[in-house]
Structure 1
Amino acid sequence: MNCRDAAVLLILSLLGSACASTRSEAPTAGAAPRLSHKTYTLGASSEPEALLVVLHYSGSTPEFWEEHVQALGTAVRVVAPRGFRPHREGFTWFPVDHEQKGWPEKTEDVERVAGQLADLIREVRRAHPEIRRVAVTGFSYGGDLAWMLAIRHPELVDVAVPMGSRLLGDPAQSLPKTGQVLVFQGEVDPIIKAQQTHTRVESLKAIGVPIDVKTYPGLGHDMSPQLLEDWRTFLRQALQGPGER
């Protein structure tokens, strides 16, 4: 064998090894996609005791929340996950046929993603054992997920603020009395009807769920300056410890 033949064989061998490595690292067929997220801290403390999980609406990105959480004015670790599927100018959380499904199937979609978000919260808490309080919030599909986290994983969530949410599913167990859910809703929302939300909240209250709702006249499926101010005020109080208020 001459030097040229040996070089060719060596190159082919290296290419084969590279291809084998790529195949071994490929995700298993049918495996859930990895949940991408951003995390950062706000306020003076580098190890805040509060965690805020913010969940964007369909077609948006985690960056949507940055200007809003910056104005909270309290020490908090922010975790901003990103939806799995590209959609419009951002990402969405659920399969392309989500809106064509019935209520039980929609609920299953939301439960599935909420389970992955719950795993992410556990991972963050393991990495940051100083965290003592956890709040989750989101708008539209993000609100559906914030609510589902509160009712399916109450051991992980102290406060939930779903906005423009369908409030799918019922609690699988009693929510802690120390927990709190506040729903924000536009009164002329063409997608999530305000009366539907009021009726749903009253039925949940009747079975002991610590939940309330605040609606905004003239507001559709959106967030107004007043809603955002109320959102900040509520979360600021909920995330601060007793000695910080």
Structure 2
Amino acid sequence: MKPLNATAPILLSLLATACATSLPGPASPGASPPLFYKTYTLGAEKPEALLVALHYSGSTPDFWDEHVTTLDTAVRVVLPRGARPHRAGFTWFPVEHEKRDSARKTAEVERVATQLADIVREVRRAHPEIRRVAVTGFSYGGDLAWMLALRHPELVDVAVPMGTRLLGEPARSLPPSHQVLVLQGEDDSIIPLQQTLARVAHLKAVGVPIDVRTYPGVGHDVSPLLLEDWRGFLRQALQETGAAPRP
């Protein structure tokens, strides 16, 4: 495993055990480059909840550090990093991603979501005490959070994608016990509000347990109220650890 050039902080009053690893390289020329991630715990030495948080394009995993500490609950945090340098940080997809048609975009998101699923499995093997998994992300990170929940419902119980296109159709039903909450700025010039509302309505109609909250005056961004809702929803979801451990 290769080290990530970042030091995970000591957070809250408990030791936050940090680890940075990468998965094996791509198996074929069309595959995505390997992903790095860091992981640490908050609130307990062996929490039963896992949160995977995915940064936006041009950012880094460190974007999430200040936000996850405000959850005020026991959780293992996993922060993957996009494989491609971009602006002051990293991105998840090739530079041509936005020029792709919908099918190609979806396929690229699915490939990276498969890598993220492998990370979840790796962390679960190392930490068998984990009983509940949530994933969240913004922009490209939101696309991936949704795709991870959609394509790998056996791994993910809760998803909070933000500023996402909600690409891909369900290939199988999500269990009704699952929860997906989409958070969306009403003035988003990249992801139009009506597109999001229509997409959520379609997914609800085919049985996906999904809901949406929108925020006036917010563009392709987060806001204090959006983050307050994000914290409240995830805090409650991560504390619902009464289910039996996943295999």
Relative to the length of structure 1, the TM-score reads: 0.86
Tell me the distance in 2 between the aligned counterparts of 1:238 and 1:73: 13
Q: Name the SS of the counterpart of 1:175 in structure 2.
A: coil
* Deviation (angstroms), 1:172: 1.1
Q: Name the SS of the counterpart of 1:71 in structure 2.
A: helix
Aligned to 1:226: 225
Tell me the distance in 2 between the aligned counterparts of 1:89 and 1:136: 24
Q: Is the 8 A contact 2:131 2:241 kept in 1?
A: no
The reply on whether 1:82 has 2:53 as its aligned counterpart is no
Amino acid at match of 1:199: A
Tell me the distance in 2 between the aligned counterparts of 1:127 and 1:242: 18
* Deviation (angstroms), 1:32: 4.3
Aligned to 1:158: 157
Q: Is the 8 A contact 2:141 2:161 kept in 1?
A: yes
Tell me the distance in 1 between the aligned counterparts of 2:158 and 2:86: 29
The reply on whether 1:176 has 2:151 as its aligned counterpart is no
Amino acid at match of 1:141: Y
* Deviation (angstroms), 1:146: 0.3
Q: Is the 8 A contact 2:26 2:34 kept in 1?
A: no
* Deviation (angstroms), 1:93: 0.0
The reply on whether 1:41 has 2:5 as its aligned counterpart is no
Relative to the length of structure 2, the TM-score reads: 0.85
Tell me the distance in 1 between the aligned counterparts of 2:91 and 2:127: 28
Amino acid at match of 1:198: L
* Deviation (angstroms), 1:96: 1.1
Aligned to 2:9: none
Aligned to 1:109: 108
* Corresponding residue pairs, total: 217
Greater than 6 Å deviation, 4+ residue runs: 26-29
Q: Is the 8 A contact 2:185 2:216 kept in 1?
A: yes
Amino acid at match of 1:130: E
* 1:112-165 Cα deviation digits (max 9, x unpaired): 000000000000000000000000000000000000001100000000000000
Structure 1 pair 28–228 and aligned structure 2 pair: CA distance change class (3 A):
closer
Tell me the distance in 2 between the aligned counterparts of 1:176 and 1:29: 33
Q: Which has the higher helix share?
A: 1
Structure 1 pair 27–164 and aligned structure 2 pair: CA distance change class (3 A):
closer
The reply on whether 1:201 has 2:200 as its aligned counterpart is yes
Larger radius of gyration: 1
Aligned to 1:240: 239
Tell me the distance in 2 between the aligned counterparts of 1:89 and 1:216: 28
Q: Is the 8 A contact 2:48 2:241 kept in 1?
A: no
* Deviation (angstroms), 1:89: 0.3
Aligned to 1:134: 133
Tell me the distance in 1 between the aligned counterparts of 2:32 and 2:64: 25
Amino acid at match of 2:158: V
* Deviation (angstroms), 1:210: 0.1
Aligned to 2:69: 70
Tell me the distance in 1 between the aligned counterparts of 2:51 and 2:205: 28
Aligned to 1:12: none
Q: Is the 8 A contact 2:39 2:78 kept in 1?
A: yes
- Structure 1 gaps of 5+ residues are 1-25
* Deviation (angstroms), 1:34: 2.0
Tell me the distance in 1 between the aligned counterparts of 2:207 and 2:143: 20
Amino acid at match of 2:142: G
Tell me the distance in 1 between the aligned counterparts of 2:166 and 2:64: 21
* Deviation (angstroms), 1:29: 7.1
Aligned to 2:212: 213
Tell me the distance in 2 between the aligned counterparts of 1:129 and 1:66: 24
